[in-house]
Structure 1
């Protein structure tokens, strides 16, 4: 009883209101152009993997840049834009964008990861990274900069000996010193470039060969399965026709006209399974040998003739038909041939 009263009670609607607030929306600074990023603070952090980074030809390094700004959402921080040296191949990963709730308010974070792969030894400069933003505390435009970085790329591990040029210069005559150093450096660079592209070409060739092999095996497997399915279908059809033929012969010997009609139609459906006959007349059209006998059967079925012994012609002609014959290779085929050949 108490539960019934509890559920029968109806709640009452309560309204709650807050005090109105007045806010001031300031316009953009006069003449401002570019990405608008109003923040309390912004900083850029750089991380390397491995750390400290060792730059070597052909070996990848991961550089992570973290831009964090107080007072904004993560998606308000712009995408970084800079150009790398020609011989430093760089690939960017999908940026990670986050927004954190802190006691001081929102904190937007944008994390960009780059993979750098040097292709040639030497000294290179990674460009500076700068992000402009509007300091809402001091009400002025500011730019946070990550300074440029000069890197020294070492030759690939296990490559052409580094002291090769030095040995050549010691053995060379003073007047040929400059030429020897130049030629040695050219040989060294040619060796590295050739080795890199050779490995790349071999890799693509192996990948292509593997793809073609998989395609060939898959194609043959489908062909084999298709052939098996076709063979099974033919074998099942042969068995079905044999069974239907036996039933027709049995019906012709001792069955009623109705049984003969049903067994003949089932037999026709087995023989022409893709286009089964819709009546006895269609069987007669497709097999002229049975046409007269089927005409007599229809007469018996529909009252024009009452003597079942008049079906003897149909019985004799049907027994001369067969749908299985052995060829020279003893393989079974579908075709019409005498089932009970006349003795000579």
Structure 2
């Protein structure tokens, strides 16, 4: 979900001081915009990289100066040298980096993990792979990690395969992160939970405590979050990224998934609270399935005590269709 959409939904369907929950929060866009707009924010996701990004956004160091100072303190503890700390790293990971660069990443990432330095670790993982000079890998794609050695053969572009030191690139990433530094009301909570959505809602969030739920639940078998973040997940300690993939593949599975979620969600929502869904199309066997229609059919059966307040169609710009994996999105505004 784009930050502009998240901000508008937060402003439209909640008030300052309210509690907003995104039970499929991804990289934390909704919780961040909620916190910026002076709402208590709760995010839930099962992807460790998504959780890291959310924690980094919601709890950054107080100032850019402090963030840089911390980064330099950790960098002083590592000694990048080909082979040091990389003995057990699989070949598919090592292929992305100069051996000395890989050594630095392999030493720095566990240090940051052990100390719960979410912001610094998010910055490090954010510059892992790309073809630009500010990133750490050999020429590679940005969103989904794969080498671009056919477009940039090593013998024709030797400079792209040289050692890339970490410090200057990490400091530059920190500076970019502080260009839009959020201001939070520290009297309002900012919480992030990793795990199964239904279990987290049931165990961690009190009944009738949430004013508004704003979320974009997984589409039907559309995105492979583990595969697409496999390189970053490896340096988070997740070697089997495939365990994070897998979403409902049929209408029945999707209905069952939504039924479990709605049953738990309405228990934590206050009376007259709002549920805002951003949903899209999925291609199944060559045919488009509109997930918003699946949800609408379920709500209209009156099982959950929810009322459909508004339906908004939002066409995805052509330039974004490939990255969004859908041609249109539908915003469904429900009332408890």
TM-score by length of 2: 0.16
TM-score by length of 1: 0.16
Q: Which has the larger radius of gyration?
A: 1
Q: Which has the higher contact order (CA 8 A, sep 6+)?
A: 2
